[in-house]
Amino acid sequence: VDRGVIMPGDRWDFDILAPDYDRHSVRSIPDLEASRIAIARCAPAFLRTGARVYELGSATGRLAAHVLAAQPDTRFEYIGIDASPRMSARAGHRLHRDPRFTARTGPIQTLRFKPAELVLAHYTLHFLGPETRHALLRRIHDSLRPGGALVLYEKVLDPDPARQDAITAGHVQYKRAAGFELHQIRNKRRLLEGVLQPWTRIENERALRAAGFTDVTRLPQRLGFEGYLARRAPIEETGTPHRP
Ligand SMILES: C[S@@+](CC[C@H](N)C(=O)[O-])C[C@H]1O[C@@H](n2cnc3c(N)ncnc32)[C@H](O)[C@@H]1O
pLDDT string in tens for the chain (244-residue length): 455 566 766 778 899 999 999 999 999 999 999 999 999 999 999 999 999 999 999 999 999 999 999 999 999 999 999 999 999 999 999 999 999 999 999 999 999 999 999 999 999 999 999 999 999 999 999 999 999 999 999 999 999 999 999 999 999 999 999 999 999 999 999 999 989 999 999 999 999 999 999 999 999 889 999 999 999 999 865 555 555 4
Nearest CA to ligand 1 atom 11: 57
Give me the residues paired with residue 3 across strands. Answer: 6
Q: Which residues line ligand 1 (CB under 6 A)?
A: 14, 25, 36, 57-59, 62-63, 81-84, 87, 107-109, 122-124, 127-128
Tell me, in angstroms, the distance from the centre of ligand 1 to residue 236's CA.
Answer: 35
> 235 C-alpha to center of ligand 1: Å?
32
Gap between the Cα atoms of 104 and 90, Å rounded: 11
pTM (predicted TM-score): 0.94
CA-closest residue to ligand 1 atom 27: 59
109 Cα nearest atom in ligand 1: 19
Atom of ligand 1 nearest to the CA of 58: 6
Per the document, the length of the chain is 244
Ligand 1 nearest atom to the CA of residue 121, by list position: 6
Per DSSP (E only), the strands in 158-189 are none
Question: What's the 29 CA to ligand 1 centre distance in angstroms?
Answer: 14
Query: Which ligand 1 atom minimizes the distance to the CA of 57?
Result: 12
Confidence at residue 1, expressed as pLDDT on a 0 to 100 scale? 41
Terminal alpha carbon distance of the chain: 77
Kindly give the interhelix angle for 21-28 and 32-42, rounded to the nearest 10 degrees.
100
Query: 160 alpha carbon to ligand 1 midpoint, in Å?
Result: 28
How many whole angstroms from 202 Cα to the centroid of ligand 1? 23
Listing DSSP states for 31-67 in one string gives: THHHHHHHHHHHGGGT--TT-EEEEES-TTSHHHHHH
Q: In 57-209, at which residue ranges do the beta strands (DSSP E only) sit? A: 77-82, 101-105, 116-122, 144-157, 199-200
Between the CA of 90 and the centroid of ligand 1 the distance, in Å, is 13
Substitution site in 127, 128, 137 for ligand 1 pocket (most atoms within 8 Å of beta carbon)? 127
Cβ count within 10 A of residue 191: 18
User: What's the confidence (pLDDT) of residue 243?
Assistant: 53
Neighbours of 158 (CB within 10 A): 17
Q: Give the per-residue pLDDT at 220.
A: 85
Identify the CA nearest to 44 among candidates 152, 149, 153, 154. Answer: 149
Q: List C-alpha distances in Å: 65 to 51, 78, 229.
A: 17, 10, 20
Residue from 194, 42, 30, 202 nearest 120 by CA: 42
Nearest CA to ligand 1 atom 12: 57
| Of 160, 210, 170, 181, the residue nearest 31 (C-alpha) | 170
- The angle at the Cα of 188, spanning 187 to 192, to the nearest 5 degrees, equals 120
Indicate the burial class of 35 (C-beta count within 10 angstroms; 0-12, 13-18, 19 or more): buried
Contact 173, 216 (CB under 8 A): no
